[in-house]
Structure 1
């Protein structure tokens, strides 16, 4: 038994609670794919807060603290303005709220591209300040040397190829990648490069399905798809997209709930009860003792 911090939902406070710490490990995620095959796909969702992590943890193999928090949490236009401090704050919260899943934290734009030494400084700070198990970075062949440098120094790396949101200005938008033969071949080279560099898994985002299938069949490490193929070794979605928190639903997202309507309805009911003085009632107020 060891102690982790679990949220007491009756007080909204994080209290130390004895729990069996049977957290999955990076080697177990990597070895989930045996002889090039994955029997049961890996489940990965994004998480940004302790409570969200607590709710998702038992259902997921991996929790990704994605730089998508820039748009989802902070209302930014892209992931580019996300800072290292933002990633660390949310990463630490997700680690505190979970005890089972492998927590992976995105490295933000500008924190790793300049040099492998810069990448190590940022990655080591993320891991030491959050307690996460791994970092994720975008890029293929261009980042291979950095991935090797990090993994040789004890930092597990999940790679990310295909549509790489941090390179949106170079790519010219968020359209699916790999429609040309040249781009198709480059994505597969990128995937092979990050595997050979030491990445324990790779996210394939927004690629045409034949690329995702070919990548999954050819790589020894797990390929986690988002806008890719059901034949990948696992899947990841932004949780808020999956829960229907936004009006726009990307093509690659299946909306499993309409939480935006649930929240709006609850807020409307609350507002009405406040304005009519129906809330708070006797059950929500303190009366003198008799």
Structure 2
């Protein structure tokens, strides 16, 4: 009997390990509809959806497996026909409902992650280097092997975006018609803001006037390309909650924030992990209590090691 139990246990353990999955729970806590988009890294497969509508108060679960790398963001002011063709005021990805391998047009708030494979840790951040369009919170859940940090930008920068960085929209869902705040790189096209040319390394590319203002508003988010030390986090978790407009109650706008523009372009997201498959999408009622969000962001801040340089 014993000779059969041991191999059986090994088979069960192997199947369990191979079937382990990660979950992204994407929630729209804004007072208006958004259209999340997803983009997988070059070595990762696409998720089961690359773009979809998410009404106020709704949540969607997307699953994948260890090693997946990519980005998730929210689009606003979108209009699509029955074929899924159209455009968005912010975060547009090739004029389609399904982004289908296209990235987000700036300015857009980005959640970026590389999931660990084997015993490896997950690396994740929220970046405003490509500009800002929505408040966003990223919260690890199902954590094991130690404490993890929530990150994001809960301030509504659109309400205090400097005039020279403002993107105006026509749908009237934002105060003053400001639907996005451009990065200094996009607005001024200067190497010192874009960390390019002679400024293409962390020694010469330093925080700018604009990135410093932005960093004060969102201290855990990337404010310029080499802002790794205070903006990249590691964790071992089975789920990541990504909440748009976390401070909103679903029918009111967040309080105005001090002027705080987003910054220049950052270096590419880490690559190198291979993922065998992706999975499905499930609509859920909004499940994240606001108390949890507030308590989560009160965790003690831990400076993590930076992304590996590729």
**TM-score, L = length of structure 1:** 0.25
The answer to which structure has the higher helix fraction is 1
The answer to which structure has the higher strand fraction is 2
